[in-house]
Amino acid sequence: IAHYEGAANTHLMQMENARTLEDAFAVAHRAGTPAQNLVVGDRHGNIGYTLLGPVPARFGHSGILPASWSDGSRGWSGRLLPPGLPVIINPPQDRLWSANARIVSGDWLQNVGFGNYALAGRQHQVRERMMALESADEDDLFAIQLDDEALFLARWRALMLEHFANHTDSSLAAALDKVERWEGRAVPESIGYRVVRRFRSHVTMRVISGLTEPLQDYLGERFPWYSRTVEGPAWRLVNERPAHLLPPGYDDWNALVDAAMADVIAEISSNGGLEKFTWGAYAELRIDHPLSSFVPALAWLTDPPVRQASGEFSNMPRIAAGSWGASERMVVSPGREENGIFQMPSGQSGHPLSPYYNKGHENWVRGTKTPFLPGEAKWILEFQPDDS
């Protein structure tokens, strides 16, 4: 797409002058940026959703599978625009949410494609929190961004506890006790959360790796081990347990679940025991400056301190784990900017010796509110032409 006329331009800068929903959508449909979900609200109380950036208008094929364009019967014909492009304005529920997941169905989905959408766990949780609010202010919406409740993993926890309810293996007792008494949140001190999360990972891996073994042999290193869509089929298989789809190497589905839990127990042992098997130890925040990747000796100067924080890599509103996190948290109501909230990892300055370098990073880690509007200017840098 980037090589097509109009795919890259500076039209997005005109968003600064948009005053209404219609203004913003007009900019979005001309902007030359990578395609993104766009949710907009204006001071008149209107809210809307569309896609920002160019989406090609396909003809002759769906785009799901590779297809030759050589005979001219398939290809792209310009840029997709409404009504072919999704546009939602003032929906009946008076709320809009995105969370990088799939938004539309039907003809719109056929038009925009079946790309690598985020799994809907985070989107679902955001929706549930928003629908529970009769009205909302900045604090309410900021709280949703900091929501670290483990709704997505709750069913995997229930599966684990039910499956091992009558276990006789003493090596499982301590781990299951942590799961039984878990915090239900992705917090640094939680052992139960990490146990459940790793249980899900090992069950899923054993299910999918067994069923895709012929494809693995064919593709070798090119086999796509990571897929955001694997949750659905893996969960259905481990619950319905069809005998004809049992991966090879197991007597029954119970044996597969037992083997996955044995993987977790082995992982606990290799990480120093159960008390050290915390979520914080697994998901330490390591936000590195690009320079330190090439010159590690400068990491002390360029990189924020390593921290253990609440949050996940995905599947809940609060994203903060490993080298991954929300690029900003922002809540602002048009016309009420003085009440707005803004957070950003790292900081506004790119100079490691500046007093503002990494300023605000700790607030992002801890979830401490910081104002949306800038404070009083303390320094001013002026550029003046040479009179000569």
Pairwise CA distance, residues 227 & 216, whole Å: 14
Whether residue 226 has pLDDT greater than 80: no
Cα separation, 257 vs 237, whole angstroms: 12
Amino acid of residue 56? P
Please report, to the nearest 10 degrees, the dihedral formed by the alpha carbons of residues 209, 211, 216, 218 taken in order.
Answer: 170
Please, which pLDDT band fits residue 257 given cuts at 50, 70 and 90? very high
Question: Angle at Cα 314 formed by Cα 311 and Cα 317, nearest 5°?
Answer: 60
pLDDT of 157 strictly over 90:
yes
**Which range has the top average pLDDT, 72-76, 167-171, 209-213?**
72-76
CA distance readout (Å), 206 to 209, 246, 325, 328, 337: 5, 10, 28, 36, 50
Q: What tens digit of pLDDT does each residue of 64-93 get?
A: 888 999 999 999 888 888 999 999 999 999
Q: How is residue 23 annotated by DSSP? A: H
CA 217: distance to chain centroid?
31
Percent of the chain with pLDDT over 90: 71
The two tokens of residue 214 are 């012929």
Q: Which two tokens stand for residue 114?
A: 């079946």
Average pLDDT across the chain, whole number: 92
pLDDT tens readout for residues 347-373: 888 889 998 899 999 999 999 999 999
pLDDT for 216 = 87
The answer on pLDDT for 215 being more than 90 is no
- Report the share of the chain in percent with pLDDT over 70: 99
Residue reference for tokens 């500076």: 10
Lowest-confidence segment of 139-148, 173-182, 184-193, 210-219 by average pLDDT: 210-219
String of DSSP letters for 239-271: HH--GGGPPTT-SSHHHHHHHHHHHHHHHHHHT
Q: 110: burial class by Cβ within 10 Å (0-12, 13-18, 19+)?
A: middle
pLDDT, residue 186, reads 97
| Largest separation between any pair of C-alpha atoms in the chain | 89
SS3 323: coil
Q: Is the pLDDT of residue 173 over 90?
A: yes
The two tokens of residue 364 are: 């992002």
Q: What's the burial of 353, exposed, middle or buried (CB within 10 Å: 0-12/13-18/19+)? A: exposed
Q: Does pLDDT of 388 surpass 70?
A: no
141: which residues sit within 8 A by CB, 6+ positions away? 331
Pair 356, 302: CB distance under 8 Å: no
Tokens of 170: 């003493």
SS3 category, 84: coil
Q: What is the pLDDT of residue 364?
A: 95
What was the pLDDT predicted at 228?
79
3-state DSSP call for residue 177? helix
All domains in the chain, ordered by first residue: 11-117 (no CATH), 154-282 (1.10.1400.10)
pLDDT value at 253 more than 70: yes
Residue 264 has pLDDT above 70, yes or no: yes
Q: Please report which residue ranges of the chain form alpha helices under DSSP H.
A: 21-28, 106-112, 121-131, 138-145, 154-163, 170-180, 191-211, 213-219, 231-240, 253-270, 279-282, 290-294, 299-302, 361-366
> What are the Cα distances from residue 242, in Å, to 15, 205, 234, 286?
53, 17, 12, 42
Span 36-57, average pLDDT = 93
Tell me the helix, strand and coil percentages in the chain, rounded to 5: 40, 10, 50
Mean pLDDT confidence for 169-179:
92
